[in-house]
Structure 1
Amino acid sequence: MVSQLALKSRINSTASLGKIFNAQEMIASSHISKARTVALNAKPYSDVIFDAVQALAAHTDIDHPIVKSRQANNPRVAVLALTADRGMAGAYTSSIIRQTESLLSTLDAQGKQPELYVYGRRGVSYYKYRGRDIADTWEGQTDHPGVEVAREISDELLADYMKPAEEGGVSELYIVFTEFINMVVQKVRVLRMLPVEVIGGYADEQSRRAAKAHQEFVEQSAGRSNAASDDGQESAGSIETAVSEQAESAEEKLRQDHPLYLFEPSLEAVLDAILPKYVQSRIHECLLTAAASETASRQNAMHTATDNANKLIDELTRKLNVSRQAAITQELTEIISSADALNKKEE
């Protein structure tokens, strides 16, 4: 049986750890509200820029780095992993590293050459310890990043993206971060920032709607033609003209729903101005939502650790009471045995 001194020592050390865990939980609780608000407030601006770029890509034939890499044959791509500076956040950093490793393996299998960029002291330590080549690193303030670090990261990544292949440029930019869903759920995501992907974009939606409208008009014209076949060829011709006018009206409505764009002073000038703002806003949004996710993960982890510490203290206290009770029982047994022995000796 473990000695009472050892049990008391473990109880005291566990209680000290429990106080640290509880303090970390309270600190995270005080920060999470602001971090969540900042992350949610930054999302609309980034989403609007992304939607605008998608709309431009859908409605215009753009030959610009924002939607089409000018180094299509360049296998070098950039991967930015957003980790944490501090621990005590549960599986936050390990989940990002696991997803980053999966992305790097996928890119290697595709014949590409990933260049790794890491933000956060934990991720930097992990990859340096394992001898992984890192293109560049950033550390500090992962739980409350500012605009300056987002600008610094975006400037370097954009500069590498715009470089020619022979000067070490990259053809794609990926970012691995944790998206803040709510206080309980944080999801690791992989985002391809450049070139922008038009996934289920406006052009595809417009084409589907136009095809559906055209098919409905064809079916209506066929039904009306069959119903009016006895009225002669002139009636069929008038129906065909009416259907054509309806189709043109529907196409005009589609164009109004998804307007084309006019650029002043030019398309290149507009996109050259949008590109750095787009990259910086996306990176800043990812940094903010990652900071909110880190704080939420730390709060949840510290809450769980505090509960586990309290449970361990209760278990050790029960063991200490059992040990103390056994020692007292043994002492009483020895006293009673000694008293009996003295009584028998006197007799």
Structure 2
Amino acid sequence: MAGQQRVYRQRIRATQSLKKIFRAMELIAASRIGKARARVASATPYAQAITRAISAAALHSDVEHPLTSERDDTNKVALLVISADRGMAGAYSANVIRESERLRGRLEGEGKEVVQFAAGRRAVSYFTFRRRELAGQWTGESDSPARETATEIANALFARFAAEADEGGVSEIHLVYTRFKSMVTQEPRVIRLLPLEIVEGVTEVEEGEVPPLYEFEPSPDEVLDALLPRYIESRIYAALLHSAASELANRQRAMNTATSNAEDIIRNYTRLANQARQSEITQEISEIVSGADALAAS
């Protein structure tokens, strides 16, 4: 019985230590989520505005441009996956990696070769373990991304898109990240950055309507060339901010659940330890009474 009490007390102490860690991580995530949400709110309007602007410019210009033109000289496509650097965030990284695997399977089913890029140690570890070559990887800033990192990623992807086929050029750029909708809802999202697939806020001119008049200075090609790098960078930066807020929200929720589970385990082991102690006391009393009866009988 004494041995059982010792085991239960050790488990209680170990669980209490874990509970402190879970609680600390929950508080850290809670303290950072406000800033992360504010950064998402401030960056999203710009990303949407530049997407609408470049979509309108591409739609109403009569030039062939890489922004909207499909390349047929290569079957390679770039795929960027944004995950977390650390664990203890529930199924956050697993969900976005699972979504990227679905996209990869669909692309390979269409006969395309995927050139993999990854941001976040979880995604890097996942692809490295499966011996998949990474054309680019970025780690260390998943919960607080810098603008410079977004610029570096955008330059690497755009360089692949602009390269010739025999130099490793790709025909498409796909992005998989987690969109932050609220503290309760975060969803993996797949978008195609290039060629532009979804035109937000811009529609085709219907029959009978007067089309908008656009004047390009100095020329449509130069305007689109200038907007294209800004478009890619803004979309990637917005995706990084959404992913950071989603990671913190998932971590706060996961650590809150872990703290509650630790409290339940502590209560359970405390009850078992008390039962073991009561059993030990009962046994000692029985031995004393039995000994006294034996002495009285003799």
Counterpart residue type for residue 60 of structure 1: S
Counterpart residue type for residue 105 of structure 2: S
Of Structure 1 and Structure 2, the greater helix share is in 1
Counterpart residue type for residue 280 of structure 1: E
**Cα deviation digits, residues 40-71 of structure 1 (max 9, x gap):** 110000001111222223333341111214x2
Is 1:54 aligned to residue 55 of structure 2?
Answer: yes
TM-score (norm 2): 0.96
Aligned residue number for residue 168 of structure 1: 168
Counterparts of 2:219 and 2:264, CA distance in 1: 67
Matches within 5 A, 1:1-347: 3-69=4-70, 71-198=71-198, 202-204=202-204, 206-207=205-206, 210=207, 251=208, 254-255=209-210, 259-345=212-298
Unaligned runs of 5+ residues in structure 2 are none
> Does the 8 Å contact 1:58/1:201 carry over to 2?
no
- Pairwise CA RMSD of aligned residues? 1.5
- Bigger mean CA offset, 319-328 vs 52-61: 52-61
Counterparts of 2:198 and 2:25, CA distance in 1: 42
Unaligned runs of 5+ residues in structure 1 are 211-250
**Cα deviation digits, residues 97-132 of structure 1 (max 9, x gap):** 111111111110000001000111111112111211
Aligned residue number for residue 240 of structure 1: none
- Bigger mean CA offset, 88-97 vs 276-285: 88-97
Counterparts of 2:100 and 2:202, CA distance in 1: 30
> Does the 8 Å contact 1:59/1:203 carry over to 2?
no
* Structure 2 SS opposite 1:3: helix
**Structure showing greater Rg:** 1
Change (3 A) 1:54 1:183: same
User: How far off is 1:200 after superposition?
Assistant: 8.2
> Does the 8 Å contact 2:51/2:199 carry over to 1?
no
TM-score (norm 1): 0.83
Change (3 A) 1:291 1:14: same
User: Among the aligned pairs, what percent are the same residue?
Assistant: 46
User: How far off is 1:199 after superposition?
Assistant: 5.2
* Structure 2 SS opposite 1:336: helix
Counterparts of 2:200 and 2:261, CA distance in 1: 46
- Bigger mean CA offset, 314-323 vs 26-35: 314-323
Matched pairs, number: 297
Counterparts of 1:23 and 1:201, CA distance in 2: 43
Counterparts of 1:83 and 1:272, CA distance in 2: 30
Counterparts of 1:290 and 1:150, CA distance in 2: 13
**Cα deviation digits, residues 210-249 of structure 1 (max 9, x gap):** 4xxxxxxxxxxxxxxxxxxxxxxxxxxxxxxxxxxxxxxx
Counterparts of 2:132 and 2:166, CA distance in 1: 23
Counterpart residue type for residue 11 of structure 2: R
Counterparts of 1:278 and 1:156, CA distance in 2: 14
> Does the 8 Å contact 1:57/1:198 carry over to 2?
no
